[in-house]
Structure 1
Amino acid sequence: MEWMNWTLPTAAFFASIGLILLGMTVFELRSPCVERRGFLPIATTRGDRLFIGLLASAYLHLLVIGVSDWSIWVASVLSLVWLLLVMRWG
């Protein structure tokens, strides 16, 4: 059986997603949220916005890498900015 080769960037990525989920869980337990409407066409909670933001950021990252010759770091920064925009105003 072969195992996945964990590089430092891969481990850091998955660790950061885990920390975000842990932080959102603690935040939700301490301060329950209510649905609200932002620029997204549906009423969402914090968890909904996190899921939508992570999914959209992944697609944005792949799109930038696939159709441009920009650095992977530019794609990462754009994806992070999009995630923050969705979390704040989505």
Structure 2
Amino acid sequence: MELTFAWMAWTAPVALFFIGIALMLVGMTVWELRSPTIERKGFLPMRTTRGDRLFIGLLTAAYINLAWVGLTDMNQWIGAALGFIALIFVMAKA
């Protein structure tokens, strides 16, 4: 499945990635409205909110995926799974 626009080719993994980010943002908005966040300190050397942790986790997942693509020829789904695990870790432990 590939939808081609003038600027980007949408493949299933790319579409799932952006859909996942959109769902996370909607979920975080609903969560914030129902239960306002409290800053806390985890393994990161600063106090963070849920939104901070989501941002840091998404950046971490992106860098893991970029490293996976650039350094290995293995299946991209493995790199995506490792990035997702890192995101969950940051959200839970940061």
- With normalisation by structure 2, the TM-score equals 0.85
Confirm whether residue 22 of structure 1 aligns to residue 22 of structure 2.
no
Find the counterpart in structure 2 of residue 2 from structure 1: 6
Q: Higher mean Cα deviation, 45-54 or 7-16?
A: 7-16
- Number of matched pairs: 90
- Give the residue type in structure 1 aligned to 2:70: G
CA deviation vs aligned residue, 1:8-42 (integer Å, no higher than 9, x gap): 33222211111110000000000001100111111
Q: Does 1:75 align with 2:79?
A: yes
Q: Percent identity?
A: 53
**Higher relative contact order by CA 8 Å / sep ≥ 6: 1 or 2?**
1
Q: CA shift at 1:7, angstroms?
A: 2.9
Q: 1:69 to 1:10 in 2, by over 3 A?
A: closer
CA distance in 2, matches of 1:82, 1:30: 26
More strand by share: 2
RMSD: 1.7
